[in-house]
Amino acid sequence: MNSNRYAAEIPKIGFGTYGRLGEAGIASILTALETGYRHLDTAQTYGSEPCVGEAVRRSALHRDEVFITTKISTDNLAEGKLVPSLRRSLDDIGVDRVDMCLIHWPAPNGQIPLATYMHQLVETQSLGLTRLIGVSNFTIALLQEAKKLIGEGLIAANQIELNPLFLNNKIARYCLENDILVTCYQPIAQGRVSGHPVLAPIARRHDATEEQIAIAYELAKGYAAIPTSGQAARIRSNFAATALRLTPQELAAIDGILPGARSINPDWGPAWD
């Protein structure tokens, strides 16, 4: 299990808000909050920051009951741009600070030095614009360089593509060993886990769906997961995975699934592990 020092602060099941736009998006986020999700994940590039804020305001929840994560766009990594961009995000969400701010992607093709934006990220925390800081789509090499730049223990999480069909073991293991919470995006592989020959019999034994088994697996490994959907029934079904407990044999069976291809792989991305 993950012994990350921030683990108790970050709800392990979150609701992703990519594609959750307009009134329909607000309704989906409200459904998630009513279901029990207490972590909302957005980003500057999603366009959903205002919807997140509006859903929280319409809910019966206090602001401090909802953990909000946003991510800094690669357009805002240059010197002097990151902090003002986060201030705009806070205005869009309608909050004084977020709970966690992540670098969404390392600079495309390494065109901006890591030091340039990591020091700005630390500044957002010192200014009180975010409670925790972290990264997304970072490799082991980038995490090691970041630690040298800003010191140990500041990076709370690394959000990466991870699901039973793409276990991303090397970077996940490094994060676990270095006190960095793994947050899984694409946790149900966009539904491709459905009918999988390893997951299907496990799902039948638990009277569950393969998607629920995927999320339960990620949570059992000590990761956080941020599924999303625009369908109320699926939103509730994904959350119900938090009640599932897989056996060591079932976890081992999923561990043994041969990895498929990465789904999110821009040509300007980092040199993956």
Query: Among all residues, which ones are annotated catalytic?
Result: 46
137: left (phi over 0), alpha (psi -120 to 50) or beta: left
Amino acid at the residue 69:
T
User: CB under 8 Å to 175, separation ≥6 — which residues?
Assistant: 143, 158, 181, 182
Question: Where do runs of H (alpha helix) occur along 127-246?
Answer: 140-150, 169-177, 199-205, 210-220, 232-240
For 116, the token pair is: 């340039």
Going by C-alpha positions, the residue among 155, 218, 209, 157 that lies closest to residue 186 is 218
Q: How far apart are the C-alpha atoms of 207 and 60, rounded to whole Å?
A: 32
C-beta of residue 163 within 8 angstroms of C-beta of residue 190:
no
